[in-house]
């Protein structure tokens, strides 16, 4: 007899949930999970491999538990006068956020975000035993400082997630919203800047708000701009006391020596890695202009993807694109689909496939 999940003594609050995950399919053009589809330049890959090879010589020993060199490198990369004592890192930004929830949320506490937003927030919240509270956005997915502050003040959450810019909509979030939320929030405020490198260059990061705000956290990832999705490296900047709190919940030696070496190699070539960003932004803007010409409704995006509305039947359009070898994402927003900005060739393949499905114009 086959054992079913329901036959196991699973936690009651996990029953009925489904694992996070987007479809994985070996199609010629995969633009569904907001990866950086540009390959790592060969000279950078060679240096990363050299660093990993050196780390392998001591792989019989535990890695640096404090990943000191990596924290120093992240502090240098972020700037804003940050020190290594203000940096934390883990296996992807999801684990970083999990550490924050383990330290500051948990059973009997609440976490809050403005829906629709990153779908891992409620999953991580529930997995750590806390209760998820969903706020609301305007019809264009923006949220004003006044509305954000009012919603947070009314719910009084222990942790607030601010996805800036927002996933899955691409919507910018201005610093006045973050300041307003922080001023009324009783607990931790996390600004998730996973896509910050794709925002306009003259826009300030929430990192500029850290001084004097000991409950503010700014998280980042190497998965997007650094084309490091497979390496699983995320990090945050915060008050040193917050970093001390995260040490209480992390697993021993949670960042392998190989991960640390690979991340250090990539950060040493930050300008080269980030040179891809301008090309990705140009393809993002090309997607927005073309889907608009086809009669769809692209939403403003400061990320490496475009959410476009005006899709009469998202499931049918998704399948039609799939049948043409192009994989994009149905994120569950009515009459909308999301596509990652890839290389010029991938973007052309998507736009040609979408046009062949039938325009809305």
The CATH number that applies at residue 238 is: 3.40.640.10
Task: Compute the average pLDDT of residues 250-264.
Answer: 96
Task: Report pLDDT for 12.
Answer: 85
pLDDT above 70 for 197: yes
Residue 250 sits in the same domain as residue 323: no
Q: How far apart are CA 125 and CA 105, in angstroms?
A: 8
Residue 91 sits in the same domain as residue 160: yes
Residue 114 sits in the same domain as residue 258: yes
Under the banding of pLDDT at 50, 70 and 90, the label for residue 359 is low
Which of 250, 269, 288 terminates a domain? The answer is 269
Residues ≥6 apart with Cβ < 8 Å to 119: 20, 168, 331
Task: Report pLDDT for 222.
Answer: 95
From the list 91, 88, 47, the residue with the least C-alpha distance to 68 is: 88
Which of 207, 239, 269 terminates a domain? The answer is 269
Window from 35-39, 181-185, 219-223, 340-344 with minimum mean pLDDT? 35-39
Task: Compute the average pLDDT of residues 330-357.
Answer: 96
The rounded percent of the chain whose pLDDT value lies above 70 is 98
From the list 286, 326, 324, the residue with the least C-alpha distance to 308 is: 286
Helix 120-127 / helix 93-104 crossing angle, nearest 10 deg? 40
Under the banding of pLDDT at 50, 70 and 90, the label for residue 2 is confident
| Both structure tokens of 261 | 């070496």
pLDDT above 60 for 361: no
Q: How far apart are CA 300 and CA 291, in angstroms?
A: 13
Whole-model pTM over 0.85: yes
| Residues of the domain holding 318 | 5-40+271-357
Task: Report pLDDT for 360.
Answer: 58
pLDDT digits (tens, 9 = 90+) for 205-220: 999 999 999 999 999 9
Task: Report pLDDT for 260.
Answer: 97
Mean pLDDT of the chain: 95
**N- to C-terminal Cα distance for the chain?**
55
pLDDT above 90 for 72: yes
Task: Report pLDDT for 24.
Answer: 73
pLDDT above 90 for 15: no
Residues ≥6 apart with Cβ < 8 Å to 357: 317, 320, 321, 324
Residue 175 sits in the same domain as residue 252: yes
Residue 108 sits in the same domain as residue 198: yes
């Amino acid at each position: 007899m086959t054992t079913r999940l329901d036959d196991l003594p699973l936690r009651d609050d996990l029953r009925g949930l489904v694992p996070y995950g987007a479809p994985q399919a070996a199609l010629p053009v995969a633009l569904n999970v907001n990866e950086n589809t540009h390959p790592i330049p060969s000279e950078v890959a060679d240096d990363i491999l050299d660093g990993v090879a050196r780390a392998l010589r001591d792989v019989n020993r535990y890695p640096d538990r404090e990943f000191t060199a990596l924290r120093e490198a992240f502090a240098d990369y972020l700037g804003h006068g940050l020190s290594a004592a203000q940096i934390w890192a883990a296996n992807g930004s999801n684990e970083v956020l999990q550490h924050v929830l383990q330290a500051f949320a948990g059973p009997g506490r609440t976490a809050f975000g403005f829906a629709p937003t990153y779908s891992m927030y409620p999953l991580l919240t529930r997995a750590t035993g806390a209760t998820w509270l969903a706020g609301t956005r305007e019809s264009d997915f923006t949220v004003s400082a006044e509305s954000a502050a009012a919603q947070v003040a009314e719910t009084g959450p222990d942790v607030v997630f601010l996805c800036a810019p927002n996933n899955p909509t691409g919507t910018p979030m201005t610093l006045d919203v973050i300041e307003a939320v922080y001023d009324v929030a009783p607990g931790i405020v996390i600004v998730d800047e996973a896509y910050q490198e794709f925002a306009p260059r003259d826009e300030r990061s929430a990192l500029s708000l850290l001084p004097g705000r000991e409950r503010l956290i700014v998280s980042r990832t190497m998965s997007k701009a650094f084309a490091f999705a497979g390496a699983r490296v995320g990090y945050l900047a915060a008050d040193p006391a917050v970093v001390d709190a995260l040490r209480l919940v992390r697993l021993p030696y949670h960042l392998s020596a190989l991960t640390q070496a690979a991340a250090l190699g990539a950060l040493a070539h930050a300008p080269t890695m980030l040179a891809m960003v301008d090309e990705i932004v140009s393809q993002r803007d090309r997607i927005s202009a073309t889907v608009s010409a086809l009669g769809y409704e692209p939403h403003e995006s400061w990320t490496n993807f475009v959410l476009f509305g005006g899709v009469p039947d998202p499931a049918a359009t998704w399948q039609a694109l799939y049948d043409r070898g192009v994989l994009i994402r149905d994120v569950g927003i009515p009459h909308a689909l999301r596509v990652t900005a890839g290389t010029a060739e991938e973007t052309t393949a998507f736009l040609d496939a979408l046009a062949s499905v039938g325009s809305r114009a």
